[in-house]
Amino acid sequence: MNTGDLQNYVPMLRADPLSRLAVLTLPEDSLAVLPVVQEQSELEMTNGFARDAPYSPSFVLSLSDVSASIKNVHDLLFLAGFHSPTLALLFSPLYTWSGRYQTVKDNFCLQIRTFDLSSGGSYPLLTSVSGLPSDALYLVASPAELGGIVVITSTGLVHVDQSGRTTCASVNGWWSYVTSLKPQSSHNHLKMALEGSKSVFVGPYDLIITLQSGDVHQVRFEMEGRAVGSIFIEEKSSIVPPPSTLTNAGEKTVFVGCAEGDSWLADVIREEITREKEEEPREDIEVDWDEDLYGDINDPALDSASGARHEDGPAKLSLAPSDVLSAVGKIMDIEFGIAASDQGLRTYPQLVAVAGGSRNSTFNVFRRGIPITKRRRFNELTNSEGVWFLPIDRPSGQKFKDIPESERATMLLSSEGSATRVFALSTKPAPQQIGRLDGKTLTAAPFFQRSCVLRVSPSEVSLLDNNGKVIQDVSPKSDQAPIVGASISDPFVVIRRADDSVSFFVGDTVARTVSEVAIASEGKTCPPCQAVEVFSDTTGIYRTFEPSRVGPYEHLQSNVTARVNGANSSRNTRQAQLTAEQIKHLQEQEPAITIDAPSTEAAINSSHGTQWLCLLTRKGEMQILSLPDMTVVMQSEGLSSSAPSFTDDIGERYTGEEKIEEGEEEDEVKQMVFCPIGKNNFRPHLLALHHSGRLNAYEAQPRFTVDASTQSRRSLAVRFKKVHTQLLPISGGVRTTNTAETRLPYSIIPFSDIEGLTGAFITGEKPQWVISTEAHPLRAFALKQAAMAFGKTTHLGGKGEYFIRIEDGSFICYLPPTLNTEFAIPCDRYEMERVYTHITFDPTSAHYVGASSIEVPFQAYDEEGEIQLGPEGEALIPPTNQRSTLELFSQGSQPWRVIDGHEFDQNEEVMCMESVTLESIGAPGGYRDFIAVGTGFNFGEDRATRGNTYIFEIVETAGAQNLPGWKLRLRHKDPARHPVNAVANINGYLLNTNGPKLYVKGLDDDKQLMGLAFLDVQLYATTLKVFKNFILVGDLCKSFWFVSLQENPYKFSTISKDLQGVSVVTTDFLVHDGQVTFISSDRNGDIRMLEFDPTDPDSLNGERLMLKTEYHAGSIITVSKVIARRKTADEEFAPQTQIIYATADGGLTTMVSVKDARFKRLQLVSDQLVRNAQHVAGLNPRAFRTVRNDLLPRPLSKGILDGQLLSHFALQPIGRQQEMMRQIGTDAVTVASDLAALGGFW
C-alpha cells in the first residue's frame, strides 16, 4: 500500500481453527469480519434468508478503533486452544529500510487479542511485544505443548511466548545489521536466506522450514522448564520442490504445494538419535515445596500437558515423497519447432514450454497427439485391415525372461480383404505364414486356456488349433444374415447379425467343443439388439444386491450375519443407506453369483474374474446378464440416451426425461466395449461409440444403495458415470445413421500393459488413445495419421510394443519413456540443471537455442566502472543477481544436451530472443536466418542501466570423427542506451525497442547493424508483433500503438493508438479472411479485443482504436505465439491465424476466429449452458469472465466465446441437448459440428 495502487493490494484471508470466525484484510488497516453461527438456537431466532445462511452478518472493523498503534499489518493468524477466537497481529507502526537502520531498527510489533463478539464487540489485549526485527516475514502458530508464536524473519527466528518473553536464533550474518536483539543461539554458518520460505510444525517441538530453493531444515525448540531455552537448527536434511505453500496433511504427512512444477505429498521421516543421559550427583539443596507437591518440572514425563510421552533425545527429520501431483508450473517462454520422425518421412510441429524458475527449469515438449515412435517396419502386414497377436500355447513359441507366458504373442492373424493369413511368431526376425483362411476376420481371441483360437468371420464362427487349422465349425456358413459384430470371453462367445438377431455360444473344455445356447431370461427370448458384448471383470467392482426375502422393516432390523450382497429400502424413503457392517461385507465378499458350471472351464476361469453378458436392444435398453446362469441383473436406457449416469432401473421403468422425441433421429450405438483403463490401479469402463461419431466413456463405480423399495431379482451394485465424451471427426461432415459408411470407420480395440498403461485404441480417420492414470481422469489423445489396424504385441521381447498400420506403412512401435500423459496434451518432460528464461528455434539448422539465468554474486560499479565493495564476512550472504548465458542444444537421440554456448558480461541478462530472417548478400535467395538477442544490465539503484543487441548465427562445422557439428557464431554486437526488451524482423530488417524508442536496422554485409529509422513511443516499449508491414508496439503503461513501416524513404507512420492506460503483456494480430483484429492481454489476466475502424465517429478519424470486447482469462498470460491456421496443406497464404497463450499457472489456451453465423449460434448455445448446465460450486461462468471497467456503462463481454463453457455441451444428455437446441432453433448435430470446426491446438 506504499504506492497507493489498490489493484496490486493482496488481501489475506484467515479462519479460526474451530470455524467460529473468518477475517479478510482490507486496505487502510481494516478487517472484514464474518462470524460463523455455532449453535442451532442462534439460527432459530432468525427468519428468511438469514436462517438458511450458517453465518451472521459481516462487518468491517477498522483496526485504528481497536488500537491506534496498529498500522501496516504484515501478517495475522488465529491461535488454537482459546475459549474465544484469538488473533495474532504482526505490524509495523513505522516504516524502515536498509538505509535507515542506523536510526530506525526493530520496528515490528506483535499483539494477541481476543475477539469477543458476544459482549458487543470487545477486543481485549492478551500479549503485546514490540521491538521485533525489522525484517519480519510471517507468523507460525506453535502447538499447545510449546505455546506462543514463532516469528520468521529473513535472518532468523524469534519465539514469543504468552508472557512476551522472546527467544531468538540467527541463521546468517545479517542478523546484527537488521536487529538489536541478541540471539540465544547462532547458526550463522548455515547461511540460510529465509525470504520465500514456508514453515510448519510436525511435532510438539519440531518445526520444518523449507527455503525458497526447496532445501529442508529442521528447527528444534529445547525447553528450560516451561519456557523455551534455545532454538537449534539442523543442516539440510532433504530437498523438496520450491514451495508456494506448506501445510499438514496428516499426523506424519505434509503437503508441499509448488507453483513452479510438481507438488508433493511428503512423509515425515523420523530418525531417532540416541543420547545417553548422564547421571548428575544429587546435592542437598533447599526444599522446593512446589516441586514436592507437583513433581519435578523438568521431568520429561510431565512436560506435556496432555500426558504424551516426550522423546528422550532429539530426532532427525526429513521429507520423502509419498505421492506426486504433476504440473507444468509457471511458463516463462514457448516456442514452436519441428520434431522430425526417425524415418524422416514426416515432420510434426511441437510446442516447447520452458517452466520453473527458482531452482531449475523443465522443458515440456507438447505435441498435438501421442507421437509414433517406430522400432522397425513390418512389411508382412502392409495390407492388413485388422490384426490379432494371440498368446497361444505353442511348442515352438519363443520365451522371454521379462514377459509372462500368458502374455507372449506366439500367433498372428491378419485380416486382408476377403482372406485372413495366419502367422507363427518365433525368435526369427520375420513371421512365418502357417495358414490361410477364407473371409475377413471380425474378431479372434484365445480359447480353452490359450490352447485354441476362436475366430469369427462375417459368414461363420470357427474353432482353430494352435497351428491355425479348423477343428470345429461352431456356426457354419448358412443363408442367415451376415455377422456384423462379435465378442469373445473364454469360454463364451456372442455374435450379432445384420438383422439384429443374437446368438450365444458356450465352450466345454472337456469335450473341446463349442455349442450354441439360447439367451432366455425369466422366460423371455432375446430381443433384437444393436450392440452386444461379453466381458470379464477382474477388479471386483461388478457385484450384485440379492433379491428381497423379508419385509423391509424386518430386514433393516435383523442381525446381518449371513452373506450380504444386497440392501432394501424402507417404505418411507426411496433410497436407504446400508449399515456399516453391510458395506464392509459388500466390499470384502465375492460377487453373489451362483456358478453351476456345465464344465470345468468356468471353475478354472473363476480366478480370473467374473463374466457378464451385455445386450443393447434395438429399443435402447441395456441389459446385463450374469454368466453362466443368464440372470438379468441390470436394465437401463441411460446408455442409449447418453445420460450423465445411470444404474439398474429395477422397480420402475425409465421415466423418459431423456428419451428421443417423435420425428427426431436416434443416434444408435455402433460398438460398445467393457474394458479396464488405468495405470497400476485399473478402473472398469464402458466405451460406447455412436453412429454419429460420438464417443461416450462411462466409469463403473460401486454403489451402496438400492433405488427401489423392493426388489424381485438380483440387482447390479454398479453405477455408470460418464467421465468423458467427444465427437470423432468424420469425413464429409457428421454422419448419421441414414448416410453411407465413412471412408475409414472407427473401431475400439482394448489393450493392456503398454508401458504400464491399460486402455483402448480407436482406429479410423482420426485415431485416439483412450487412457487414464490415478492422477488424472480419462482422456483421449489423438494421432496425427489415420490408423487402419492396431494390436499390442510382445513377440520382439518388449512389453511396451504395439503394431500399427498408418498411412506411412506398417510398423512395430513403442511409447517413448519420456512421455507424460498426466496433462491434457501429451508431453515429453526433460528436467534441466539450470534455470532458463527464453527459448527459440532456428529453422535452418533445426536446433533450439535457450537463454539460461545463473544466480551469481551481485557486483556493484560506480559511474566510472570501478568496483564498489560492501560489507564482508564469512557468515554474510552476498547479494545476488542474474547473469545470462546462451546455449545451443543438440537434437536427435540425445535432445537438450548443450553443445555450444556464449557467456554474457557481468550483470547482463537476456530480455528477449527471437529467430529472425534478415537480408544477407551471400545467402541463397538473399535472406538468412539469425538469432537476435536483446539484453539489459542490472547495476542496482545507483547507476543507470543499458543494454545490447546481439546477432548470432548457427553454423555447421566439422565435429569429432568427421561428424557434422554445430556452433554459435557471434555476428554483431550493437550497444544501446537502454535495455532491449523486444526484437522482431520485418521485410528482412531488424526491429528492436530501446527504452522509449523503436528502431529498424539492416544487417550490412553480415557484420554490423545500420540504423534506418526510429520512432519515439510513449514510456517504455516492451512488446513487438509484426504482420506484413504493420507493427504493434506494446508499452509498459500506455497500452499499444498501431504502426506501419515504409521503405522509400524508410519511415515509421503511426496509424492509431489505444488511449486507455493499460499495462499490456502481449499484443497480437488475429486475422480471418482479410480482416484483422488486435488482441492484447494485461497484468491482471484480462484479454481485450480492439479494432481499427476509421468510419466510427468515436475513433477520431481512426486515430483511436475501438474497444470491442473485454474477457477475463482466469490467469495471468505470460507469453503468446501466433501461428498460421491453414485448412489444407496446399494453401500458401493462411486465411486465418491462431494465437497460443501460456499462463502463469502452467496452462495453455488458444484463440481462433469464428465466422459470424457460427459465432451467433454458439453465443446462443453459451447462454443456454449458463442457465441449464451444472457449474462448479454453483458459480456463474459469465460473471467470472466479466471485466470491470469504470469507463463503460456496461461490460463488453459478447465478442469472445468461452470455449471451456462450450465444452460442457457434449457432456449434456442427448435429451437435454435437443431441448436446449429447440429453444434456439437449431439441432445438436449442427452445434457439434460447429464445435468440432473450431479446432484445438495447432
Per-residue pLDDT tens over the stretch 495-517: 999 999 999 999 988 888 999 99
More confident residue, 48 or 1091: 1091
pLDDT greater than 50 at residue 379: yes
Residue 303 pLDDT > 60, yes or no? Answer: no
Whether 559 shows a pLDDT value over 90: the answer reads no
Q: Are strands 927-937 and 136-141 parallel, antiparallel or unpaired?
A: unpaired
- DSSP structure string for 523-553: TEEPPPEEEEEEEEE-SS---EEPPP-S-HH
pLDDT tens profile 1150-1179: 999 998 999 999 999 999 999 988 888 888
Run of H or E including 178? helix 175-178
Nearest to 83 by CA among 105, 114, 61, 106: 114
The span from the CA of 721 to the CA of 723, in Å, is 6
Higher pLDDT residue, 139 or 276?
A: 139
**Residue 287 predicted with pLDDT over 80:** no
Instruction: Give the least confident one: 50-59, 171-180, 348-357, 865-874.
Output: 50-59
C-alpha cell at 163: 508472557
Average pLDDT for 388-406:
77
Residue 656: band (very low, low, confident or very high) from pLDDT cuts 50, 70, 90:
very low
Q: Does residue 561 carry a pLDDT above 70?
A: no
Cβ atoms 242, 358 nearer than 8 A: yes
Question: How far is residue 1000's CA from residue 1009's CA, in Å, rounded to a whole number?
Answer: 9
How many CA atoms, within 13 angstroms, populate the side-chain half-sphere of residue 372? Answer: 29
Q: What is the pLDDT of residue 1235?
A: 86
Distance CA 641, CA 701 (A): 19
pLDDT at 734 over 60: no
Name the nearest CA neighbour of 886 among 955, 945, 836.
836
Of 1018, 1050, 1051, 1052, residue with least CA distance to 1037: 1018
- pLDDT tens digit string along 175-211? 998 999 999 999 999 999 999 999 999 999 999 999 9
Tell me how far apart the alpha carbons of residues 376 and 370 are, in angstroms, rounded to a whole number.
18
**Hey, CA dihedral for 333, 337, 341, 342, is it positive or negative?**
negative
The more confidently predicted of residues 870 and 974 is: 974
Question: Has residue 652 got a pLDDT over 80?
Answer: no
pLDDT value for 558: 36
Q: What is the pLDDT of residue 584?
A: 55
User: CB under 8 Å to 754, separation ≥6 — which residues?
Assistant: 792, 799, 800, 801, 802, 815
Give the model's pLDDT for residue 346.
64
Mean of all residue pLDDT scores within the chain = 84
Q: What is the pLDDT of residues 68-84, one digit of tens each?
A: 999 999 999 999 988 88
Where does the pLDDT of residue 549 fall: very low under 50, low under 70, confident under 90, or very high at 90 and above? low
Evaluated on CA atoms 323, 325, 330, 336, the torsion sign reads positive
Mean pLDDT of 690-718: 84
Q: Please write the tens of the pLDDT for every residue from 1043-1070.
A: 999 988 899 999 999 999 899 999 999 9
Res 557: pLDDT: 36
Give residue 255's pLDDT: 97
Least trusted range by pLDDT, from 215-229, 358-372, 390-404, 1218-1232: 390-404
Spatial separation of the C-alpha atoms in residues 54 and 58, rounded to whole Å: 12
pLDDT, tens digit, 9 for 90 and up, residues 43-70: 455 555 445 567 788 899 999 999 999 9
pLDDT at 733 over 70: no
What is the structure's pLDDT at 521?
Answer: 63
Location of each CATH 1.10.150.910 domain in the chain? 1155-1242
Question: What is the C-alpha to C-alpha distance for residues 669 and 102, in angstroms, rounded to an integer?
Answer: 80
pLDDT bracket for residue 574 (50, 70, 90): very low
Q: Is 433 exposed, middle or buried (0-12, 13-18, 19+ CB in 10 A)?
A: middle
Q: Determine what percent of the chain is predicted with pLDDT higher than 70.
A: 84
Name the percent of the chain lying above pLDDT 90: 54
Sheet containing 631-636, strands listed edge to edge, beginning at the edge strand earlier in sequence? 529-537, 610-617, 622-626, 631-636
DSSP H or E segment with residue 337: strand 331-340
Kindly provide the b/e burial profile for residues 1022-1032, where b requires at least 16 CB atoms within 10 angstroms of the residue's own CB: bbbbbbeebbb
Please give the average per-residue pLDDT across 870-888, as a whole number.
90
Start-end ranges of CATH 2.130.10.10 in the chain? 834-870+883-1011, 1017-1153
Would you say 840 and 913 are in contact if contact means Cβ atoms under 8 Å apart?
Answer: yes
Q: Which of 739-753, 843-857, 872-886 has the lowest mean pLDDT?
A: 739-753
- Given a cut of 50, whether residue 551 has pLDDT beyond it is no
Topology adopted by domain 1155-1242: DNA polymerase; domain 1 (1.10.150)
Identify the weakest region by mean pLDDT among 289-303, 422-436, 460-474, 1002-1016.
Answer: 289-303
Among 479-483, 890-894, 1140-1144, 1219-1223, which range has the highest average pLDDT?
Answer: 1140-1144
Extract the C-alpha cell encoding 670. Answer: 455402433
Residue 294 to residue 807: CA distance in whole angstroms: 87
CATH number of 1017-1153: 2.130.10.10
Res 865: pLDDT: 73
Domain 834-870+883-1011 classified CATH 2.40.50.140?
no
Name which of 201-215, 419-433, 728-742 the model is least confident about: 728-742
